[in-house]
Amino acid sequence: MFDYAHLKALSIVVSQGGFDKAAQHLYISQSAVSQRIKQLEDKVGQALLVRSNPVRATETGKRLLRHYAQVQLLESELRSEMDVDDPSLPTIVKIAVNADSLATWFLPALTQTFKQHKWLLELVVDDEAYTHHLLKNGEAVGCVTTTQLALSGCSSEFLGNIEYQCVATPSFIEQYFSSDVPLDDISHAPAVVFSTKDKLHDKFLSFYFDINDKSWREHKIPSSESFLEAIKMGLGYGLVAHLQAKPLLDSGELVEIFPHKRMQVPLYWQHWNIKAKQTSIIYRALAMSAKEQLFP
């Protein structure tokens, strides 16, 4: 049996990125934090932390963090069922989500659920192709991901497809996509992409235009809101989620460059296979909203 004070220390050290901040968070000395980690590593017989800056968990450490997070979730549910109201121990639900979902349909889908149950929401934002790693590492109890295959110990539920349209301002299109410019050669036009992790634009150019040599120019803007603002200001063209693009297309502020060339990205809800009602309630709320907002 693990000492959960030691597991908590491990969790805080990783989340805070080091022993000093963890000690401040736990209101104990740094040596006391180090002692708890050492005792836990002695019990497991393996190193649980990589002493880097910031400190990060080893693979074994990640498994323990996942176990600790699952226990916390189950204990929160048990307190609720026993009507043991302790404001100092609120239910915190950590979810990993992609930026486009967060900027459009995700929060409205969950707001009423979290208000009703008085849960606290902690979001980790990452590219939809990477959010499942946060679930695997114990940094989230569930995630919105493009990965269909369920991770070990998890379930995967299809939510729907988010569709991306290639858009730009009318003036940008006039400059870069005039009638005398071949539409099948768009490598000369500056693109706006979300981040180096985001491969959607690469896939778009490869699938529709057979451009695979990364020869195009691009602005990297890792913020969903600023990404869209950059396109609206004419900095470049880009692939915008249909929920964000529709009002701007309707108003004429943006124009779809290739109406018949769109990309659909499937989204799944993956969560731990534990008997905690939080994950099933959250899935129902997400599925209901996704049915209305996403493509089947």
Question: At 205, which CATH number?
Answer: 3.40.190.290
Give the tens place of pLDDT for each residue, 59-110.
Answer: 888 888 888 777 777 776 666 655 555 555 677 888 999 888 998 999 999 9
Residues 201 and 260 in one domain: yes
Residues 77 and 137 in one domain: no
CB 53 within 8 A of CB 18: yes
Whole-number pLDDT of residue 74: 72
Whole-number pLDDT of residue 242: 94
Residues 98 and 79 in one domain: no
Residues 79 and 121 in one domain: no
Residues 274 and 166 in one domain: yes
Whole-number pLDDT of residue 291: 93
Residues 110 and 158 in one domain: yes
Residues 94 and 138 in one domain: yes
Residues 151 and 229 in one domain: yes
Give the tens place of pLDDT for each residue, 166-214.
Answer: 999 999 998 888 766 555 567 789 999 987 677 899 999 999 888 887 7
Residues 79 and 103 in one domain: no
Q: Would you mind telling me the total number of residues written for the chain in this entry?
A: 296
User: Which domain-ending residue is among 32, 65, 87?
Assistant: 87
Give the tens place of pLDDT for each residue, 210-268.
Answer: 888 777 888 999 888 899 999 999 999 999 999 999 999 999 999 999 999 999 999 99
Three-state secondary structure along 211-264? CCCCCCCEEECCCHHHHHHHHHCCCCEEEEEHHHHHHHHHHCCCEECCCCCEEE
Whole-number pLDDT of residue 80: 60
Q: Which domain range does residue 52 map to?
A: 1-87
Whole-number pLDDT of residue 10: 85
Structural domain total, the chain: 2
Mean pLDDT for 281-293 is 92
Whole-number pLDDT of residue 77: 63
Residues 233 and 191 in one domain: yes
**Residue predicted with more confidence, 109 or 136:** 109
Q: What is the pTM of this model?
A: 0.77
Residues 132 and 277 in one domain: yes
